[in-house]
């Protein structure tokens, strides 16, 4: 398939700025991101070191390269995403060209995506990795996009939450499941069932592939759709939703009715500054704030239903 290669330059710049830019571009259809340099990786090569940088630190051009399939590129979507850039005072310029014709999935997988270790307990690695670190939980994935590997700060925080929680016997709902890393981990940690929902056909297909790779033959149902697919479902003891602020604000009212009494909801995919908005909406719907955590400016919150 043909790809377009964009080079984005932010002023002022910085790793946090480019991390936010990558998240914004992902919502506009871009599927791979590279910070130029000798040790390029698209998103955080996250370890259990909370001080680890989001991108590899290299002597390189101060820019972000982003790739999008030529046939799927929408100039209008890109313009709208940049116009709504959430960091004040940041100007983003870019140029682009048709990328060299090669297997970008293979290129990205073999050179940029590295095994991820979260809290020393969970390892996420590709099918192509060798000498993978040992851990209590090992998740094998066949990655096809940068935000599906667990390296992003929002996903790694959700993984930490699942590692700390007692999931034995719980009925779990995973909204915006992506590659279903979180659903797979929940099942591994004793969840009796998990409904995983995503509105992207690719995510549903890749989720099914990843379930098979991890030998999970039952207990996880993958559904193509959005929050409207929850009608008649549940109740759930735990809802996990790693999406974005606007979708969470819109759909939280649909999560609450399918939550059992005493159930919890974990949400991420938004910035620290968005926590008050999410908390106000959650409390308006009758949920009780439990706790929040932060990593590289990205937040993860937990609420419970009385």
The whole-number average pLDDT for the span 253-257 is 97
User: Which three-class secondary structure state does DSSP give residue 141?
Assistant: strand
The dihedral formed by the CA atoms of 53, 67, 146 and 246, expressed in degrees to the nearest 10 = 90
Q: What secondary structure, in 3-state letters, does 60-99 show?
A: CCCCEEEEEEHHHCCHHHHHHHHHCCCCCCCEEEEEEEEC
Closest CA to 181 of 226, 238, 240, 236: 240
Q: What pTM did the predictor assign? A: 0.69
Burial 81-117 (b: 16+ CB within 10 A, else e): bbeeeebeebebebebeebeeeebeeebbeebbbbbb
The per-residue pLDDT for range 91-147, each reduced to its tens digit, is 999 999 987 665 555 555 555 566 778 888 999 888 777 778 888 999 988 765 444
Supply the pLDDT for residue 56.
37
pLDDT band at 201 (very low <50, low <70, confident <90, very high): confident
The per-residue pLDDT for range 26-57, each reduced to its tens digit, is 888 887 777 664 333 333 333 334 343 333 33
Residue 274, pLDDT > 60, answer yes
Supply the pLDDT for residue 105.
53
Supply the pLDDT for residue 178.
85
């Amino acid at each position: 398939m043909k790809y377009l290669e964009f080079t984005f330059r932010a002023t002022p710049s910085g790793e946090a700025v480019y991390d936010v830019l990558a998240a914004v571009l992902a919502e506009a259809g871009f599927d791979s991101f590279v910070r130029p340099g000798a040790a390029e990786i698209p998103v955080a090569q996250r370890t259990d070191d909370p001080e680890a940088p989001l991108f590899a630190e290299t002597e390189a051009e101060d820019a972000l390269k982003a790739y999008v399939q030529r046939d799927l590129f929408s100039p209008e979507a890109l313009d709208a995403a940049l116009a709504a850039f959430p960091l004040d005072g940041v100007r983003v310029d870019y140029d682009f060209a048709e990328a060299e014709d090669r297997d970008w999935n293979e290129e990205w997988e073999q050179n940029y995506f590295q095994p991820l270790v979260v809290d020393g307990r969970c390892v996420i690695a590709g099918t192509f990795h060798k000498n993978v670190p040992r851990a209590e939980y090992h998740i094998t994935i066949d990655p096809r996009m940068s935000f599906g590997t667990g390296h992003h700060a929002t996903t790694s925080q959700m993984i930490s939450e699942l590692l700390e929680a007692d999931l034995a016997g719980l009925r779990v709902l995973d909204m915006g499941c992506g590659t279903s890393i979180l659903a797979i981990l929940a099942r591994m940690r004793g969840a009796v069932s998990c409904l995983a929902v995503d509105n992207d056909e690719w995510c549903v297909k890749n989720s099914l592939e990843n379930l098979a790779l991890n030998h999970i033959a039952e207990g996880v149902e993958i559904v193509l759709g959005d929050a409207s697919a929850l009608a008649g479902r549940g109740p759930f003891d735990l809802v996990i939703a790693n999406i974005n602020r606007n979708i969470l604000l819109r759909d939280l009212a649909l999560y609450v009715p399918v939550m059992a009494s005493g159930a919890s909801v974990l949400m991420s995919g938004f910035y620290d500054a968005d926590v008050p908005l999410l908390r106000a909406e959650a409390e308006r719907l009758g949920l009780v704030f439990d706790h929040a955590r932060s990593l590289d400016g990205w937040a993860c919150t937990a609420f419970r239903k009385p």
